[in-house]
């Protein structure tokens, strides 16, 4: 089954953590407040390889970081642990906001790149395709490696025997694993 990751309805019929994430997103109108920025929920929760400490990642596209920061601050600054900052990652300006609900830490990541072209989305799509191909045992091994402290992309690289930078190498697998 192919999942439309641009529409979070799949979360409301998912596992317990997916349903909880969906409920938080709806209750706090997170995607609604970010709709100008083409938000997409990415990371481990959408593809069911999260661990209890996993946060809810939301990527956005923005060209005006000051305006984005102003909107995010307006809507979420009263949330527990709210912080927002702008920096550079891979020579691109990014704005990152974090806050907590009762159930999750949310991280909102924005850069001037269409969301479906951002690495977080591309990694998730590649990982989802690999999980579909490799099956449940592979998925459980990824979760075990994550629980032992390994980040997601390095866990995939380890199980797949990938050398080099796991973040870069995973993107190179697209032709093999994409639908």
DSSP result, 20-54: HHHHHHHHTTHHHHHGGG--EEESSTTTT---TTP
pTM, to two decimals: 0.93
Enter the DSSP assignment of 44.
Answer: S
Q: How far apart are CA 60 and CA 27, in angstroms?
A: 19
At 132, list the tokens: 């579909």
At 78, list the tokens: 């009263």
Phi, psi of 84 (to 5 degrees): -145, 140
Per-residue pLDDT of the chain (179 residues; tens, 9 = 90+): 578 999 999 999 999 999 999 999 999 999 999 999 999 999 999 999 999 999 999 999 999 999 999 999 999 999 999 999 999 988 899 999 999 999 999 999 999 999 999 999 999 999 998 999 899 999 999 999 999 999 999 999 999 998 989 888 888 875 555 44
């Amino acid at each position: 089954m192919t999942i439309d990751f641009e529409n979070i309805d799949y979360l409301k019929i998912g596992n317990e953590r997916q349903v909880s994430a969906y409920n938080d997103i709806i209750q706090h109108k997170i995607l609604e407040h970010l709709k100008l920025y083409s938000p997409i929920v990415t990371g481990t929760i959408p593809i069911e390889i999260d661990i209890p400490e996993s946060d809810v990642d939301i990527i956005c596209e923005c060209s005006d970081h000051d305006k984005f920061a102003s909107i995010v601050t307006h809507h979420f600054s009263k949330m527990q642990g709210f912080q927002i900052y702008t920096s550079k990652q891979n020579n691109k300006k990014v704005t990152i906001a974090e806050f907590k609900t009762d159930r999750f830490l949310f991280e909102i990541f924005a850069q001037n790149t269409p969301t479906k072209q951002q690495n977080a989305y591309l990694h998730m799509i590649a990982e989802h395709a690999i999980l579909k191909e490799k099956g449940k045992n592979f998925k459980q091994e990824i979760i075990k490696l994550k629980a032992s402290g390994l980040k997601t992309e390095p866990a995939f690289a380890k199980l797949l025997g990938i050398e080099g930078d796991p973040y870069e190498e995973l993107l190179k697998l697209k032709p093999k694993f994409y639908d």
